[in-house]
């Protein structure tokens, strides 16, 4: 990551105030400006090429990019080399020459950073992955491998579908505790951010270390792609986190 790339992302994306307190890491939540354009092909190789292209446009070395196939699972793995990781929704690394990428268009991009071990994680947080405890999996892996104390973990949740836009069908209600569901005129809505926050808390992450970027992807169509808002054929925001600023 060089300074021009940092500037590009700062200018074209959003960042978390808490994570910005740590100059040793770099991150950006994407917008339409630096995202993947709408496309029919979701093949992992195609996606990786597009992500590399988008990164390249921003001046990031395409040989540093780590992408995930993203299948709404709770699969998390430690990565030590660039590439596309199949059947994975979370990646963790301590390596300073990798840039982790999450693609989103309503799901929540979630970044975790441990200032002590300097481990970073990027999680694709859809309701399925969150319900399947992708957060607990990631924190457990960070604890076991990098001796991370969850109380010190810094977390940021990027733009996603939010409360009054997150309509859910009766068929999926059983996945959630009642306190995360609201009901208006016989329609159910998921309190998505509250659910994510509660899962972070369950894993030992404290509220003062959780930053929530307050943007709904569907309510801000000029800024964000939205799977629901754009009627399913839409682009993807690219969200990046990495370490090691190259001078």
Using the rule CB under 5 A, give the single segment among 2-10, 72-80, 165-173, 175-183 that binds Zn ion. 165-173
Binding mask of the shown chain, residues 191 to 230, with x at each position contacting Zn ion by CB under 5 A:
-------------------------x-xx-----------
DSSP one-letter string for 142-203: HHHHH---GGG-EEEE-SB--GGG-EE-GGGGGGS-GGGEEEETTEEEE-HHHHHHHHHHHT
Q: Is 105 in the site for Zn ion (CB under 5 A)?
A: no
What are 80's two structure tokens?
């030590």
Pick 30 or 90: Cβ nearer Zn ion: 30
Q: Is 190 in the site for Zn ion (CB under 5 A)?
A: no
Tell the smallest beta-carbon distance from residue 165 to Zn ion (Å).
Answer: 3
Q: Is 168 in the site for Zn ion (CB under 5 A)?
A: no
Q: Is 108 in the site for Zn ion (CB under 5 A)?
A: no
Q: What angle do CA 50, 28, 95 make, to 5 degrees?
A: 80
Binding mask of the shown chain, residues 123 to 162, with x at each position contacting Zn ion by CB under 5 A:
---------------------------------------x
Q: Name the phi and psi angles at 3, rounded to 5.
A: -65, -35
Whether the CB-CB separation of 166 and 159 falls below 8 Å is answered with: no
């Amino acid at each position: 990551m060089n300074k021009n790339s940092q500037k590009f992302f700062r200018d074209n994306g959003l960042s978390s105030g808490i994570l910005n307190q740590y100059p040793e890491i770099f991150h950006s939540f994407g917008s339409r400006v630096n995202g993947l354009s709408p496309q029919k092909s979701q093949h992992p190789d195609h996606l990786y090429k597009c992500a590399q292209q988008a990164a390249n446009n921003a001046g990031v070395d395409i040989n540093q990019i780590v992408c995930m196939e993203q299948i709404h699972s709770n699969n998390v793995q430690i990565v030590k080399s660039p590439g596309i990781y199949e059947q994975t929704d979370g990646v963790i690394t301590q390596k300073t020459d990798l840039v982790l990428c999450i693609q989103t268009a309503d799901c929540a991009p979630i970044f975790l950073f441990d200032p002590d071990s300097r481990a970073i994680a990027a999680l694709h947080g859809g309701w399925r992955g969150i319900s399947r405890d992708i957060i607990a999996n990631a924190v457990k892996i960070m604890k076991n491998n990098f001796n991370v104390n969850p109380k010190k973990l810094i977390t940021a949740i990027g733009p996603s579908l939010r409360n009054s836009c997150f309509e859910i069908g009766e068929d999926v209600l059983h996945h959630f505790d009642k306190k995360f569901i609201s009901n208006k005129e016989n329609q159910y809505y998921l309190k998505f951010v509250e659910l994510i926050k509660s899962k972070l808390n369950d894993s030992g992450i404290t509220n003062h270390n959780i930053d929530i970027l307050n943007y709904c992807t569907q309510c801000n169509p000029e800024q964000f792609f939205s799977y629901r808002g754009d009627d399913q054929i839409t682009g993807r925001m690219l969200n990046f986190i990495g370490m090691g600023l190259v001078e």
